[in-house]
């Protein structure tokens, strides 16, 4: 297993902002799988979904993980909300490092996502309903994939960082 910190969770659960915070705190660089794919493809996630379809995007996510296994160590890696849903990706995530699931209620997620236009899966008539349905399918998979589950709905940003810090201290492989 490599020494990366992986953040998984639903869209809007705060993976990117927590990742940036951790990256400052631990002085590790951060990689976001969506950004990685966008840079490689030279188009946005929305464009990839519209032009090539979701399946193609999902293949790009797996390719990204395989590449990160070859190249990333001591980094913070925030992954797209749908990435853990592919069975093949579970072993790859485990191989990459310690996996934190940022778990949030559908209400908290909807509050953060209601005006979002960048997530193709939520550009539907009733995004709140969509969030509930998707989260119901995904939450058990996120939990199965995670080494640590953190409930982030009622926690401040600083509390989340502190909690992750404690978990890392307890994990021998990550205390330097």
Among 45, 93, 109, 150, binds ligand S3P (CB under 6 A): 45
- CB closer to ligand S3P, 21 vs 81: 81
Residue 112 interacts with ligand S3P (CB under 6 A): yes or no? no
Could you please report the per-residue DSSP string of 7-64? EE-STTSSHHHHHHHHHHHHT--EEEHHHHHHHHHTS-HHHHHHHH-HHHHHHHHHHH
Rounded to a whole number of angstroms, the minimum distance from the CB of residue 46 to ligand S3P is 8
Residue 34 interacts with ligand S3P (CB under 6 A): yes or no? yes
Of the CA atoms within 13 Å of residue 44, those in its CB half-sphere come to 7
Phi and psi at 42, nearest 5°, equal 55, 40
Among 14, 21, 81, 106, binds ligand S3P (CB under 6 A): 81
Q: Give the contacts of 175 (CB within 8 A, at least 6 positions apart).
A: 168, 169
Site track 115-144 with ligand S3P (rule: CB under 6 A), x = hit: ----xxx-----------------------
Give the binding-site size for ligand S3P (rule: CB under 6 A): 10
Rounded to a whole number of angstroms, the minimum distance from the CB of residue 168 to ligand S3P is 22
**C-alpha triplet 33, 35, 38: angle, nearest 5°:** 110
Q: What is the contact surface with ligand S3P in residues (CB under 6 A)? A: 11, 15, 34, 45, 80-82, 119-121
């Amino acid at each position: 297993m490599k020494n990366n910190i992986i953040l998984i969770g639903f869209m809007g659960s705060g993976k990117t902002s927590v990742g940036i915070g951790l990256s400052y705190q631990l002085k590790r660089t951060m990689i976001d799988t969506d950004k990685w794919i966008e840079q490689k493809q030279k188009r946005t996630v929305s464009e990839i979904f519209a032009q090539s379809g979701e399946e193609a995007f999902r293949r790009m996510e797996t390719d990204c993980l395989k590449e990160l296994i070859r190249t990333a160590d001591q980094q913070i890696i925030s992954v797209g909300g749908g990435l853990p849903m592919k069975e093949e990706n579970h072993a790859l995530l485990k191989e990459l490092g310690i996996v934190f699931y940022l778990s949030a209620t559908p209400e908290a997620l909807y509050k953060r996502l209601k005006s979002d236009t960048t997530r193709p899966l939520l550009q539907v008539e009733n995004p709140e309903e969509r969030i509930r349905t998707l989260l119901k399918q995904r939450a058990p998979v996120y939990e199965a994939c995670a080494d640590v589950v953190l409930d982030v709905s009622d926690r401040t940003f600083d509390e989340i960082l502190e909690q992750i810090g404690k978990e890392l201290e307890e994990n021998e492989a990550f205390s330097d």
